[in-house]
């Protein structure tokens, strides 16, 4: 059952926070303002720092055995945005930050899709692909903001995530590359996917077994009770999975672009070689005639003298 059907509000300290009464449509299993009046959902807020950490870590890249800082690209920025907006949402439980949190997920998915579909394509195709990605994202996001219907966001994000997986699958298994590279890339793909699957399972347990989890947390007491804040684990696991997919997408796109550049160079080299061979054949064909004409000219000069 989707979490649009679950809303755990009305906690004992829910109306004591400095941010005022919660206004968000979504409210998770962690008890509101149970730790401090300055943060509505303490564990759910601090675990979002995992996104920020991996957004910064993803700036550091390895190429040809060399480690260097690649700066912020669209993937790092959108992952950072997920962490910042999700922190604001869980800290305040206000509707505005909640919408920003949900929309940042679409921005990250869109950035991944654009990287996968546009990075090695000609400019015209890249622009068409970008429009086909961002126009539906903008339309659905606008509809979601106006209606507040979380199902719109859920289905859009699910569709984009499926397209990302299918595109990566195609690039790994159907683009020409050595079998050893396919095996290595496939392992990275399924490893990242495993984190996301476990995260989704943990997320649903947090929704469907909230009352049992709260009872267990009361028995354990702090700080061990925090280990059963499963939505926080959702943040940690999805941050790891997203970071691994970002690194995989970068490597795939770099390899695909490099392969296409090599193919282009080989094609140009082949065409150049063909032209040179054709010129050589033509020269050999014309040489006897030129030699004969030169001898005739010499004979005429000799007879004139």
Q: Extract the annotated binding site for Ca(2+).
A: 30, 41
- Number of residues written out for the chain: 305
- The rounded distance, in Å, linking the Cα atoms of 301 and 162 is 84
Do the beta carbons of residue 243 and residue 57 sit within 8 Å?
yes
- The rounded distance, in Å, linking the Cα atoms of 110 and 99 is 17
Q: Is the alpha carbon torsion for 145, 147, 150, 156 positive or negative?
A: negative
- The rounded distance, in Å, linking the Cα atoms of 26 and 116 is 32
- The rounded distance, in Å, linking the Cα atoms of 54 and 59 is 9
Specify binding-site residues for Zn(2+): 90, 231, 235
Specify binding-site residues: 30, 41, 90, 231, 235
Do the beta carbons of residue 103 and residue 140 sit within 8 Å?
no
Burial 19-55 (b: 16+ CB within 10 A, else e): beebebebbbbbbbbbbeeebbbbbbbbbbebbbbbb
């Amino acid at each position: 059952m989707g979490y649009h059907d679950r809303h755990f509000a009305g906690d004992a300290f829910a109306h004591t926070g400095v941010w005022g009464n919660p206004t968000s449509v979504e409210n998770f299993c962690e008890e509101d303002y149970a730790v401090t009046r300055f943060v509505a959902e303490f564990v759910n807020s601090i675990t979002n720092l995992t996104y920020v950490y991996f957004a910064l870590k993803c700036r550091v890249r390895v190429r040809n055995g060399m480690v260097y800082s690649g700066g912020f690209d669209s993937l790092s920025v959108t992952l950072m945005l997920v962490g910042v907006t999700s922190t604001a949402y869980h800290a305040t439980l206000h509707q505005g930050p909640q919408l920003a949190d949900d929309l940042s997920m679409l921005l990250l998915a869109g950035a991944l899709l654009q990287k996968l579909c546009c990075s090695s394509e000609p400019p015209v195709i890249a622009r068409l692909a970008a429009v086909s990605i961002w126009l539906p994202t903008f339309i659905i996001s606008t509809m979601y903001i106006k209606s507040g219907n979380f199902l719109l966001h859920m289905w859009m994000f699910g569709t984009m995530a499926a397209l990302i997986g299918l595109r990566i699958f195609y690039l790994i298994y159907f683009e020409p590359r050595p079998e050893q590279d396919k095996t290595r890339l496939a392992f990275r793909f399924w490893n990242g996917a495993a984190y996301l699957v476990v995260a989704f399972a943990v997320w649903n347990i947090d929704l469907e077994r909230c009352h049992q989890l709260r009872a267990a947390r009361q028995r354990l007491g702090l700080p061990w009770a925090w280990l059963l804040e499963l939505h926080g684990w959702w943040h940690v696991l999805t941050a790891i999975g997203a970071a691994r997919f970002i690194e995989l997408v970068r490597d795939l796109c770099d390899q695909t672009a490099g392969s296409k550049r090599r193919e282009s160079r080989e094609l140009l080299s082949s065409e150049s070689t063909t032209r040179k061979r054709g010129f050589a054949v033509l020269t050999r064909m014309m040489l006897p005639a030129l030699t004969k004409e030169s001898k005739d000219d010499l004979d005429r000069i000799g007879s004139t003298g």
